[in-house]
Structures are given as C-alpha cells and as structure tokens.
Amino acid sequence: MCAIASEPSEASAVRRREGPLPEKPLFTVELVIFTIRADRLHVLLVERADQPRKGWWALPGGVLDLRRDDSIEACALRKLAEEAGVHPPYLEQLKTYGSRDRDPRGWTATTVYFALMASERVQLGGNQAAGWVAVQGDRVGLDLALDHARILADAVERLRSKLEYSHIAVHLLPEEFTLPELQRTYEIILQQPLDKSSFRRRVAQASMLEEIPGKLRDGSGRPAQLHRFRDYDRRTFFPRSISRHAR
C-alpha cells in the first residue's frame, strides 16, 4: 500500500520503487453561481487575479488543494465560502471538462459545480473583483476566459431542463416568498409566460410549500400570501414537464 506523497522528495522515492508515476493533469474546480436580480438571471463572475487570462472575467474557482480539501465537493464549498461567503442552499455537480488545449497551462481537468441562491445572501467579500452579470439567452455580455462561455451555456441548459420537472427554483429566492414571485422566477429562466392557474395547481400538487400566516404587501393590488419551502432536503418532482406544452 502506498499513499500519495505530500512532498516532492517522497514522490520521487515512490517513483523509484514502483516505476514511473503517471503525469497528472492540473485539477481545478469552478463554480457557476446563479441568482435572480431585477427580473433577470445573473451569474457570479470574477476578474482573474492570476495567469492564465489575468484580468479577464471568468467563473470563480481555482486549483484543488490536496491538503485542505477532503473531496471535490469540499473544495467547491470552500471556494463558495471564499467567493460568496455562503453555504449555498443548492449545489450540484455539473460536468467535468478536461483536455490538453482548453487552458494555456496545458492539460487541465476542471470539475464544475452549479449553485443556486438568493442574491441577498451573498457577501461578495473575496480579495478579487467580483460581480453579478446578467445572463441573456445562454451567454453573458462579456468575453469569458478559456472555455467558460461553453461551461456557462451548459449550466444554463441544465438549469432550464431541471426546472421543467423539479422544484429547485425555490433556492433562487429568499426563505420567504410569494407564489407570484416563484412563478416569475420560472418565467424568467424558462423565458416564456406560464399560466397562473396551472402553475399554482402544479405547485400545490407537489405539496412542497407551506403558507406563513403573515402577508406581503406590494405597491399595488391585493397582498400575496407568503410561503416557505417545506423541506429543504426532500427532493420534490413534478409529475409532468412544465412548459413543454405551454403556449
């Protein structure tokens, strides 16, 4: 039994005992953090402080630290805490991108996670410039470093397809929200209007929300009932696709 050596000298010793160790790709973790602001889907981007593509806008993330990170997901959570100061209500592994030529440093592998959260919860407190950028279609109005535009497009597609049959949009809202706000969130992401009656029937059937006796008042019109997500851990799925048959 042999363990990965933590010092280069030990690694060389292992290499002599067991033959040449394989060269490894540089391994990084990146994050696609979505939120809703001002009726638009936004993604968190940072200005790269290091090479490669220093100064370009990019997805937050960085190199895995074998000493601090027990797992890839732990690394993603650490970077989320560093970049956004939060433990996100929803985190899911998206995909791993790895090739010889996606990064000028050479062979890299990057596991990408995507997170959903209410923008109010985020503390942009990193040491680098960071900000929310509106998503239009499946892209952003900036040139992104490396293959990050492609990664973002994949993440947006995954978000949309998951919204068709799951409840995960609630994680984009604060803990208390109204049904019209939730419906609006779906409409923003799916980019199409939804029927109010059908939407509420669907949400009610999933029985994933509970009413809060208080009320929310708007600038005009009848106040809307506040709701809370019933069980943050339970996975609720809609029995049918939401928007595939929409007008």
Please choose which of its own copies, DNA, none residue 27 contacts, taking the beta carbon within 5 to 8 angstroms, the exact cut-off set by kind: its own copies
Site string for DNA, 164-203 (x = CB under 7 A): --------------xxx--------------xxxx-xxx-
CB-based contact 152:138 (threshold 8 Å): yes
Residue 81: both structure tokens together: 């805490």
Cα-based torsion angle of the residue sequence 145, 141, 156, 101 in order, rounded to the nearest 10 degrees: -20
Residue 244 contacts DNA per CB under 7 A: yes
Query: By the 8 A CB rule, do 33 and 135 touch?
Result: no
CB of 238 to its own copies, least distance (A): 10
C-alpha neighbours within 13 Å on the C-beta side of residue 191: 10
Between CA 220 and CA 16 the distance in angstroms is 76
Task: State phi, psi for 27 to the nearest 5 degrees.
Answer: -115, 125
Binding residues vs its own copies (CB under 8 A)? 1-4, 6, 8, 12, 15, 22-27, 51-52, 63-67, 69-72, 74, 93, 95-101, 104-107, 109, 111, 165, 239-241, 244-245
Q: Which one among 119, 166, 225, 236 touches DNA, defined by CB under 7 A? A: 225
Q: Is 35 exposed, middle or buried (0-12, 13-18, 19+ CB in 10 A)?
A: buried
Closest to its own copies by CB, 106 or 223: 106
Q: Is 28 in the site for DNA (CB under 7 A)?
A: no
Q: Which of 165, 220, 232, 237 binds DNA (CB under 7 A)?
A: 220
CB atoms inside a 10 Å sphere around CB 155: 27
Residue 109 binds which entry of DNA, its own copies, none, CB below 5-8 Å type-dependent: its own copies
From 28-36, 115-123, 143-151, 211-219, span contacting DNA (CB under 7 A): 211-219
In degrees and rounded to multiples of 5, residue 244 shows phi and psi of: -70, -30
Binding site for DNA (CB under 7 A): 178-180, 195-198, 200-202, 205, 215, 217-225, 239-240, 242-247
